[in-house]
Amino acid sequence: MNIVNFTPVSALSGGLLIGLSVALFFILNGRMIGISGIASNFLISKNNRIENFLFLVGLILGPLIYSLISGQEVNISISSSLILLIIAGVLVGFGTRLSSGCTSGHGISGISRFSLRSIIATITFMLVGILTVLIKGIL
């Protein structure tokens, strides 16, 4: 194992902001943030639909506001075939709904509550993610 591209300061700073968002949403609106929950509830449920929609709009505004303030362009690279994108997207959507949470809902909100369900979910999806990357590297 080699350690590469390690950026602890920006990772920690971004993490603090994410934590702030979760904390504010809880204190002010009374709900724990889980993005798969917010997104799927926006799709299927009338409860809090406008709030859920506005949260998702906020997420999308995030990079635009960041670019405006910092003057830096946000770039990402997704290197994958169309079919793999579709398979992965369906797996992520189906899996997070079946287990009622994703990286934010289980990994942050759930663990901050010391929820055993969320701790087990987070360990499981991390291990399977690591295994998937390992297998992909071999193939």
Q: Show contacts with another protein in window 86-105 (CB under 8 A).
A: 86-100, 102-104
34-51 b/e with 16+ CB inside 10 Å = b? bbbbbbbbbeeeeeeeee
Q: Under rule CB under 8 A, how many of the chain's residues touch another protein? A: 109
CB 84 within 8 A of CB 78: no
CB of 71 to another protein, least distance (A): 13
If one asks whether residue 63 binds another protein (CB under 8 A), the answer comes out as yes
114: its two tokens: 């010391």
Indicate which single residue of 46, 71, 110, 139 sits in contact with another protein (rule: CB under 8 A). 110
Q: Does 46 bind another protein (CB under 8 A)?
A: no
Of 83, 118, 106, 113, nearest to 36 by C-alpha is: 106
Contact between 101 and 79 (Cβ < 8 Å): no
Write down the least CB distance from residue 133 to another protein, Å: 4
Judged by CB under 8 A, the residue of 46, 71, 133, 139 near another protein is 133
What part of residues 64-83 is at the interface with another protein (CB under 8 A)?
64-66, 74-80, 82
Instruction: Kindly state whether residue 139 participates in binding another protein, applying the rule CB under 8 A.
Output: no
Question: Considering all CA atoms of the chain, what is the largest pairwise distance in Å, rounded to the nearest integer?
Answer: 48
Judged by CB under 8 A, the chain residues 23 through 42 that form the site for another protein are 23-33, 35-36, 39-40
Angle between helices 49-70 and 35-44 (to 10 degrees): 130
Cβ neighbour number for residue 108 with a 10 Å cutoff: 23
* Least Å from the CB of residue 70 to another protein: 9
CB of 99 to another protein, least distance (A): 3
